[in-house]
A and B are shown apart, each in its own frame.
Chain A
Amino acid sequence: MSDTPILICYDGSDAADSAIVAAAALFPSRRAIVLDVGPVLTDTESIAAFSPVIAGQAFEDENLDEARRNAQVGAERARQAGLDAEARAGVAAPTWEAIVDTANDVDAAVIVLGSRGLDGFRELFEGSVSHAVVEHSTRPVLIVRGTTARGARG
């Protein structure tokens, strides 16, 4: 059982950094796969994409590159926290579906997610990624809030 990896979703946010620290403390002996799922188009790009000058594919390539860089950063932080971590990246919409699919693909023991709680700007558009993953996955999900709330108790 303990050779199945944990899947840490990493988007570079404060909450994602907190999620890595919590995962390393709670599941210290497991391998970790650090995943960033980039958007197929960003919010700004989705407007720009109506322009015929730049093809949608170019945005997608750029988003995948950014997701790869982000996942590498996350994997490095996970290693610093003591986990045996590897990076993984993709672009997809909706985000939760790519997370659930990747978790199945790697047979994740648990999915770890940072959550911005009620105030995330992207969540206004996407709905809560963490809630969607909980609804759709058959695997345990660890939800970790960002450091902005660290001073308060709750």
Chain B
Amino acid sequence: MSDNPLVADRPILICYDGSPSAKHAIAVAGSLLTERRAVVLDVGPLDLVAETYAAAGSGAASIGQAVYAGALAQAEAGAELAREAGFDAEPRGGIDAPTWRGIIEVANDIDAAVIVLGSEGRTGLNELVEGSVSHDVAEHARRPVLVVPPPPGSTHA
């Protein structure tokens, strides 16, 4: 029963990393998917925590807390944008690697009706190592995934 996307009270999961692509994805989701609850998620990099642990051992816990706090703050900013777009939105932070796994775990946890993400996430080392997060989520998620391209006319980073 819980797999039925017809159940309209299931929330949508919006992935938010603060990139222009993610901001645009929230606006587009607001125009397409109305009257749903939204959980806005940022997944912080677990590799940073792991590297710190390898380097310093005891410092990992505090780095982990800092990465989680950063992800939650980012998610809160995204939730505010989602409220402006018309969603009843709540923030959620996470730490995982690869990023797509963290996204799918939260999607399962809240039984998301759909996962929304921008096609161009936060660029940099993560994207180079992991490839496109949107491709990976679409490949591994067993629920609908809405991939939102950047707005027309935007330049690639």
Contacts and interface: CB of A to CB of B under 8 A. Distances in A.
Interface residues on A, range: 20 to 34
Contact of B3 (A26, A118, A131, A150): A150
A1 B135 contact: no
Contacts of A131: 135, 138
B32 A22 contact: no
B108 interface: yes
Nearest to A24: B6
Interface residues of B, number: 29
A149 B145 CA distance: 15
Interface string B114-157: 10000100000000000000110011111111111100100000
18 contacts: A22-B114, A25-B4, A25-B113, A26-B32, A26-B33, A109-B31, A134-B119, A134-B135, A134-B147, A140-B146, A140-B147, A140-B148, A140-B149, A142-B114, A142-B144, A142-B145, A143-B147, A153-B108
Interface of B: 3-6, 8, 28, 31-33, 104, 108, 113-114, 119, 134-135, 138-149, 152
